[in-house]
Amino acid sequence: MAWTVVVAGGGFGGYFAARTLERALPPAAARIVLVNDVNFLLFTPLLPGAAAGTLEPRHVVVPLREELDRTDLRLGRVLGADPERRQLRLATIDGREESIGYDHLIVALGSVSRTLPIPGLSEHAVGFKTLAEAIALRNRVIANLETAETLEDPDARAAYLTHVVVGAGYAGLEGAAELQDFMADVIERYPRCRQQGMRWLLVEARDRVMPEVSPSLAAFATRELTGRGIEIRTNTTVDEVTDRAVRLSTGELVPCRTLVWTAGVKPHPVITRLGLPLDDGGRIRADATMRVAGFENVWAIGDAAAVPDPARPGQPSPPTAQHAMRQGKLVGRNVAAALGAGGRVKPFKFKTLGVFVDMGRYEAVAETVGIRWRGFPAWWLARSYHLLLMPGVSRKLRLVVDWTADLLFPRDTSELGTLGHPAPLGDERLLATSAGGTQAETEARS
C-alpha cells in the first residue's frame, strides 16, 4: 500500500519539501499531495523589484506545476485538521469543502503581516507581503502622482506625494528604497509634482534600522537612504492613521495618502485550527528534527513553526526564506527516513550564510559568513544570490532579461489597477458621471 504524504503550504518550505520527497521516495511507495491556495511559489526577496516595476510580476513567482513532477497539487485553502483521525480539511477553489487523509503531514503555511490595534491601521494601511500588495503599491504610487498633478492646492498635492513606510526590517527598507527610487525616476514626467518634490518616511520602533545586519552595515544603509532624501525616524511608532494623515508617537502629524505596513509577521492564523501545540509566539512547537511535539507523523517548518535555531540555543529559527528552504529540504528527507526509504531522521543544522539587503540603484548591504559588503559589490552579490536560488533555468533567464531591460530603458508609468478586474458588460457604467475604476479617480473623488 502506498503512503500518502500531505504538504500544507507551497511557499519556500513546502515547495522544497515536496521536491525533496519526489526525489527521496520511490513513486510506487508514496503519493505526495501539496495543498496551496495559489498555484505558485512567491519568491518574496524579489517582491520589492516587482513593486518598483524592475521585474515583471510573473517573474517573481515560480509556477508549482512547472517545477514539481509527480506531486499532486491541490489548489485550496486549508481550513483545519484532525490529527487524531489524520485528516486535513480544505476549501477547494470552486467552493467545496473536502478532507484529505494522510500518513504524514508537513505544515508549511507561513506567516501573515502582524498588525497592532492602532486606530485606522487596518482600514488605511497597505501591507507588503503578497504579490497583490506589491502591485497595488506600485499602482498607488503612480495614481498618487496622477492625482497630485491635477491638484491646484500645494498642501493637498503634498499629501499625495508623501509616503510613510512603517518597519525597517529588510522588507520595509528594501520596499521603501525601491519604491522611492521608482518615484524619483518617473516624477520627471509630472511637472507640478517634480517642482513640489516628494517625501518618504521610514518609521521604526527600535533604535536602528535592520536588526538583521551588524550596526555598521545598518549605519551604511541609513546613510544611503538619507542621502536619497528618505527621512528615517527610529524610536518612533504610529499612533493613528486616517485616509489623509498619519500621527506619529512624537506627536507629529504627517499629511499623507499612503501608509505601507511592514512591521513584522506572525504565524498564519489557520494554524490555531490544526489541533497542534503552539509556543508563546503562536508558532507550532516542533523539535530539532521538525517533528511536532506529541505527534510522530506531523512535521512543521518555516515561518509557521518554532523549530529550534541551531545558531541561537533556546530560540526558534528566525522567519526567513533561508531557514524555511533548508528546513523544507531536510523535512523531506526526514519523512522519507521515517517511512523507511533510507537514511535516518536528522536534526536541523544551519548557520545563516548571510543577509542581503538590496536598495536598488546598484546599492546594497550584505553580510556573508563574517564578511561585510556594501555598495556595488554587495548589490551584485545580492542579485547573484537570488538568481542562484531561483528554481529553473528559464526563470533565471527571465530575471536577467528584466534586470537588463531596466538598465537600458526608462521606467513604465502605466497604472494597471484594473488588470484582472474587468468592468461588467453594459452601458450603465459607461454613462456614469465619474470615470471610476482607477485608484487616482477614486481617491480624487473622496
Q: What is the closest distance, in whole angstroms, from the C-beta atom of residue 268 to ligand FAD in the complex?
A: 5
Segment 65-84, which members bind ligand FAD (CB under 6 A)? 77-78
Minimum gap (Å) between residue 390 Cβ and ligand FAD: 12
Q: Which stretch binds ligand FAD (CB under 6 A): 5-13, 139-147, 332-340, 438-446?
A: 5-13
Least Å distance between CB 242 and ligand FAD? 26
Instruction: For the chain, give the number of residues.
Output: 446
CB contact at 8 A, 256 and 162: yes
Q: In this complex, which beta carbon is closest to ligand FAD, that of residue 12 or of residue 373?
A: 12
Q: Nearest 5 degrees, angle CA 414-CA 420-CA 425?
A: 105
Choice between 42 and 187, CB closer to ligand FAD:
42
Q: How far is CA 444 from the centre of its chain?
A: 29
- Interior angle at CA 356, CA 21 and CA 116, nearest 5: 85
Between 277 and 437, CB nearer to ligand FAD? 277
Which of 61, 100, 171, 248 is close enough to bind ligand FAD by CB under 6 A? 171
Q: What is the pairing mode between strands 40-42 and 354-358? A: unpaired
Q: In 162-263, where do the E strands start and end?
A: 162-166, 199-203, 230-233, 238-241, 245-248, 253-255, 258-261
| Binding flag, residue 267, ligand FAD (CB under 6 A) | no
Binding status of residue 373 toward ligand FAD by CB under 6 A: no
Residue of 52, 60, 109, 274 that binds ligand FAD (CB under 6 A): 109
In the complex, least distance from residue 425 CB atom to ligand FAD, rounded to whole angstroms: 32
Instruction: Among 30, 33, 34, 108, indicate the residue that binds ligand FAD (CB under 6 A).
Output: 108
Q: What is the distance between the alpha carbons of residues 29 and 5, in angstroms, rounded to a whole number?
A: 11
Q: Which of 170, 182, 200, 379 binds ligand FAD (CB under 6 A)?
A: 170
Instruction: Name residues contacting ligand FAD, limited to 126-165 (CB under 6 A).
Output: 128-129
> Taking CB under 6 A as the rule, does residue 396 contact ligand FAD?
no
Nearest to 115 by CA among 101, 127, 103, 104: 127
Element containing residue 83 per DSSP (H, E): none
Question: Which ranges constitute the DSSP H helices of 270-375?
Answer: 321-338
Report the C-alpha dihedral over residues 324, 267, 129, 131, rounded to 10 degrees: 80
Do residues 106 and 264 lie in contact, with contact meaning Cβ atoms separated by under 8 Å? no
Q: Quick one: 51 or 148, whose CB is closer to ligand FAD?
A: 51
Out of 57, 167, 319, 360, name the contact with ligand FAD by CB under 6 A: 319
- Structural contact between residues 256 and 125, judged by C-beta atoms closer than 8 angstroms: no
Rounded to whole angstroms, the Cα distance separating 377 from 379 reads: 5
* Residue 170 C-beta: closest distance to ligand FAD, Å: 5
3-state secondary structure of 148: helix
Cα–Cα distance, 38 to 213 (Å, whole number):
32
Minimum CB–partner distance for residue 48 and ligand FAD (Å) = 6
For residue 436, the minimal CB distance to ligand FAD (Å) is 31
The 3-class SS string of 98-141 reads EEEECCEEEECCCEEECCCCCCCHHHHEEECCCHHHHHHHHHHH
Distances (CA, A) of 77 to 89, 90, 261: 9, 5, 25
Terminal C-alpha separation, the chain: 63
Q: Which of 303, 363, 367, 402 binds ligand FAD (CB under 6 A)?
A: 303
Q: Total binding residues for ligand FAD by CB under 6 A?
A: 32
Residue 86 CA to residue 188 CA, distance in Å, equals 59
Nearer to ligand FAD by C-beta: 210 or 270? 270
Instruction: Report the residue number, 45 or 308, with the smaller CB distance to ligand FAD.
Output: 45
Q: How far apart are CB 314 and ligand FAD at their closest, in Å?
A: 20
Cell of 227: 542621502
- Minimum distance from residue 77 beta carbon to ligand FAD (Å): 4
> Hey, which residues between 12 and 51 contact ligand FAD (CB under 6 A)?
12-14, 35-38, 44-45, 47
Query: Toward ligand FAD, which CB reaches closer, 128 or 261?
Result: 128
Q: Given the rule CB under 6 A, which of 10-18, 189-197, 215-223, 421-429 is the region that contacts ligand FAD?
A: 10-18
Q: Which residues contact ligand FAD (rule: CB under 6 A)? A: 9-14, 35-38, 44-45, 47, 77-78, 108-110, 128-129, 170-171, 268, 270, 302-304, 319-322, 324
